[in-house]
Amino acid sequence: MEENIIKTEYSEVMQKSYIDYAMSVIVARALPDVRDGLKPVQRRVLYDMYELGIKYDKPYRKSARIVGDTMGKYHPHGDSSIYDSLVVMSQGFKKGLPLVDGHGNFGNIEGDGAAAMRYTEARLQKITQEAYLGDLDKDVVDFIPNFDQTEREPSVLPVKIPNLLVNGSEGIAVGMATSIPPHNLGEVIDATKAYMKDNSITTVELLRYVKGPDFPTGGIVINKDELLNIYETGSGKIKVRGKVEIEKGKNGKTNVVITEIPYPMIGANISKFLMDIAALSETKKTVDIVDISNQSSKDGIRIVVELRKDANVDNFVNMLYKKTRLEDTFGVNMLAIDNNRPETMGIKKIIQRNVEFQFEVTTRKYTNLLNKELERKEIQEGLIKACNVIDLIIEILRGSKDRTMAKACLVDGKVEGIKFKSKESKVMAQQLMFTENQANAILEMRLYKLIGLEIDALISDHENTMANIYRYEDILDRKDSMAQVIMNELDAIKKEYGVARKTVVENAAEAVYEENKIEEMEVMFLMDRFGYAKTIDMTTFERNKDAALTENKYIFKCKNTGKICIFTNTGQLHTVKVMDLPFGKFRDKGIPIDNIGNFDSTKDELRLITSQMELNLYRVIFVTRQSMLKVVDGGEFDVNKRTVVATKLQEGDEVINIELFIEQKNIVLQTAGGYFLRFPLEDIPQKKKGAVGVRGMKLTDKDEIEAVYYTQNAVEHDIMYKEKKIELNKLKLGKRDSKGIKVRV
C-alpha cells in the first residue's frame, strides 16, 4: 500500500486544530442559540424526554434513564454535564421558568447539590411540552443526524417565546463567555408583541415593557438608569441588592431580616455571606451584632441579624451593602449563536431574531397543515362523489376481476373486462374521473359509511376542512394574519404561565455608612512558628512576656489602626490591616496570616514581618540568592494596595534576606561554596523599590548566596560554619563586588 505523507508546518496544524476545537466548544457546547435560547445539551435532554414520552401528565422517570438515553443517542460528552443540565433546568431558584419537573433532591438555594441521578426522577413541565416541544411533529424545524448517524435530532426546538431572555443563560466557551439574566415571562411577551406591531420600536420603548431583569431570588436592581445602555449594547453590569426588613426583637432589640438575596449569592455564597457578617463583629468593624441565625427554609430566605438596643440600624444595613455581598454585581454579556456565529446582541436584536424564527416556524407549520387539509379535501370530495353514484361503483366492483381493474375504471374510465348490467352503466363508468387517492379511499371504504348519518358527517367534515383551508391560506398569504396567530399564542402562554415580577427595579443612592471610631492604641503583634497571628494589649503582653518570647517567632509593637507589612522570597510586599487580626487573650490561637494576607504560605517564604509604623522610620536592605543588593527607603512601602512589588528579580532569582537598616555597619555574605565577603553597608546604593539593585559579590559558576550576617564595629559576632567557629568582625574588610575569601574547614 502506497503511503501518502503530507508535509506541513507544525504550528499551522496546531493553530487549525485549536481553532476547530474552539469553534466546536463555542457552537456545539457552551453557548445558547438565539432562536430557542438553549444550549445543545439542554435541547437534547428535552428532546430525549419528549421521545421517551415523559410528559407532564405521565409518571416520573429515573433521571439516570434520561441521562443514559441522552448520552447514548445525542450527547456523547459524559453523564455529569447532562445531569447537571437536567438539574439546573428544574431549579426554580436559578431559572425564571423551570423546564423540567424534578422529583426528589434537586439541590437548594444554599448550595447543597442534587442527589445522584439514580435517586432522582423527572418529567417535562407542562409549558415545556406545549410551548417548547408542541409542534415538533409538524415538520417545523430541520432534523440533523446525531453524532454516529444512527438517530436524528432537531437542530433547534420550536420554542414559542424568547426563551433566551426569559430563562437567561450562562456559559464559558474558549475566549468568550455568555451571561444573560432571566426576565419576567409576561413582560418579555408584551415586548415581543410590541415589536411585532412596530418593527421600528426603540430599546427605550421596549424597556417600557421589560422593566429589567427579573431574578427568581427577587432582590432590588439599583442602577435603573444604566439598564438602557446594557440592553442597547448587550453588555454591562447590573447592581443587585438583597431585600432587608426591620423587625422588633426581644427586650427592645432590633432584628435586621434578609428575606431576598442577590441572584449571584445563590449557592455557597450564602454561607460566605454569613461568615462575612460574623467577621465584621470579630474585627470590631461593628459592635452592634448580638446574634446571627439562618432561618431559611423551603418557604424562602430568612437570615436574621439581631442588633443591640442602641444600634444605628440604617448605618448597619448600609455597612452590609458595602462590606458584604448583600449588594452584588451581575455581569451581563448577552452572547448567543446566530446563524452559526457567536454574537453579542441587545434586547431588540434578540427579540427580532426570535420573531423571525416564529414566522419561519409558523410558516412551516401552517404549510404542513394546509397540505394535510388539501389531501383530506381531495379524499372527502371523492367519497361524497362516490356516495352519489354508489350503485354504479358497486356494479363496477362486482363486475371487476381484481382491484387493479376496478381502480383503472374509477381513475381513467377503462371498462374493458368489467361486466355491467346495462349499457347505461357502462357509459356512465367511462365518464368517471377520480384521482388516485380518491380511488384508493373508495376501494378501502367500509359499507357503514353509506349510512345517512355517516354521509351527513362526511359533508360536515368537508365543510370544516374547507374552512380550515381558507384559514390556513389566509395565514400563509397575509403577514398580518400570521402575526395575529403568533400573538394569540403568546397571549395564551402569558395568561396561563405568567407570574408577577419578583425583582424591584429602581435608582438607589450609593450605600454610605460611618465606621465606628476606634480608639487608637498600641498593641503587640504575635505570630508563632506555624504562622498563626494575633494581637494583644500591652498589659497582657507584659504579664506573659517570657512565654510570649519563647512561643512566638515574630513579636513587635504596632498601632491597632496601622498595617502589618509582610515581605516574601518572591520580592512581593503584602499588607494586612491590624484590625483584620483577632484581638484578644494571650492563649487565643489566632488565625493563619496567609488567610488574610494575599499570599500562599505553602509556596511563599516569609523574609520579614514588621509594622508600617516601624518601616517608615528606617531603610530596608534586600539581598537575593544571585547576590543582588539594594537599600530602599521604608517610606516607599507605605502603599494602599494589598500587594506590591518590593524588588525586581532576575530570572531564577529569589530574595534570601530582608532587614531593617538600623545600627548595622557591615554586611557579611556567605556563599554555598564557602566564600565570605565583609564590606561596609554604605557601599550599597539606595534604589527605588522597582529596581533590581547592584551586585554584592562575584560568584563562581553554580555558586549562590546561602546566608547573610550584619555586624557592628567593636561588637563581637561569632558563627559556626561546618563545625568551625568564625569571628565575623575579624574577616578582612573587602569591597563590594569582589570575590571574598575562601574559608577552609
pLDDT digits (tens, 9 = 90+) for 269-298: 888 899 889 888 877 788 889 999 999 888
Q: Both 585 and 697 in a single domain? A: yes
User: Are 563 and 674 part of one and the same domain?
Assistant: yes
Distance, in Å, from the CA atom of 403 to the CA atom of 444, rounded to the nearest integer, reads: 10
Q: Looking at the structure, tell me whether residues 34 and 128 fall in a common domain.
A: yes
Both 537 and 479 in one domain: the answer is no
Q: How does pLDDT run across 81-120, given as a tens digit for each residue?
A: 999 999 999 999 999 899 999 999 999 898 888 999 999 9
Alpha-carbon span 200 to 634, nearest angstrom:
64
**What is the band of 585 on the pLDDT scale with cuts at 50, 70, 90?**
confident
Evaluate whether residue 607 is within a structural domain: yes
Mean pLDDT calculated for residue range 30-57: 93
Map grid coordinates 453523564 to a residue. Answer: 79
Distance CA 732, CA 725 (A): 16
Reported confidence tier of residue 26, pLDDT bands at 50, 70, 90: low
Tell me whether residue 233 is in a domain: no
Positions of E strands within 152-297: 152-154, 169-172, 177-180, 220-221, 235-241, 243-248, 254-260, 289-294
pLDDT at 693: 92
In a domain, 511, yes or no: no
Work out whether the CA dihedral 38, 41, 45, 48 comes out positive or negative: positive
pLDDT at 158 over 70: yes
Q: Which residues contact 548 (CB under 8 A, 6 or more apart)?
A: 524, 526, 541, 555, 586
Domain end call among 302, 325, 348:
325
Same domain, 363 and 487: yes
| One domain for residues 312 and 389 | no
Same-domain status, 320 and 423 = no
| Grid cell 553554580 in the structure block, residue | 702
**Higher-confidence residue: 186 or 96?**
186
Whether 327 and 240 have beta carbons less than 8 Å apart is answered as yes
Mean pLDDT of 490-512: 92
Nearest residue to 376 via CA among 299, 437, 317, 447: 437
Cα dihedral 678→683→688→693 (10° resolution): -50
What distances in angstroms separate CA 174 from CA 27, 345, 461, 566, one per listed residue?
A: 10, 19, 57, 37
Is residue 251 situated within a structural domain?
A: yes
Residue 2 lies in a domain: no
Distance between CA atoms of 343 and 178, rounded to whole angstroms? 10
634 and 692, same structural domain?
yes
Q: Could you give the CA distance from residue 156 to residue 401 in angstroms, rounded to a whole number?
A: 52
Same domain, 539 and 687: yes
On the question of pLDDT at 5 being above 80, the answer is no
The confidence band for 735, taking pLDDT boundaries of 50, 70 and 90, is very high
Joined grid coordinates for residue 727: 569571628
Q: Determine, yes or no, domain membership for 193.
A: no
CATH number at residue 726: 2.120.10.90
Domain contains 507: no
Comparing C-alpha atoms, which of 553, 554, 551, 558 is closest to residue 524?
558
Has residue 526 been placed in a domain? yes
Q: For the domain that residue 364 is a member of, what is the CATH number?
A: 1.10.268.10
Is the pLDDT score of 447 beyond 90? no
Number of helices (H), then strands (E), in the chain: 22, 35
Residue, of 216 and 27, whose pLDDT is higher:
216
The residue ranking higher by pLDDT, 22 or 356, is: 356
User: Phi/psi of residue 556, each to 5°?
Assistant: -160, 165
290 and 438 belong to one structural domain: no
Domain boundary among 276, 308, 325: 325
**In 3D, which of 86, 72, 76, 78 has the Cα closest to residue 114?**
86
pLDDT surpasses 70 at 1? no
394 in the same domain as 301:
no
Residues 268-307 as b or e (16 or more Cβ within 10 Å = b) = ebbeebbeebeebebbebbebbbebeeebeeeebebbbbb
Average pLDDT over the chain, rounded to whole?
A: 89
Q: What is the pLDDT of residue 648?
A: 92
Last residue of a domain, one of 161, 188, 209: 161
Domain carrying residue 301: 243-325
Helix axes 185-197, 479-497, angle to 10 degrees: 170
Same domain, 425 and 531: no
pLDDT grade, residue 68 (50/70/90)?
very high
Residues with a catalytic annotation lie at 119
- Burial label for 99, CB within 10 Å (0-12, 13-18, 19+), is buried
3-state secondary structure 7-61: CCCHHHHHHHHHHHHHHHHHHHHHCCECCCCCCHHHHHHHHHHHHHCCCCCCCCE
User: Which are the contacts of 142, defined by CB distance < 8 A and separation ≥ 6?
Assistant: 154, 155, 156
Per-residue pLDDT, 456: 81
Number of domains in the chain: 4
Which domain CATH number covers 312? Answer: 3.30.1360.40
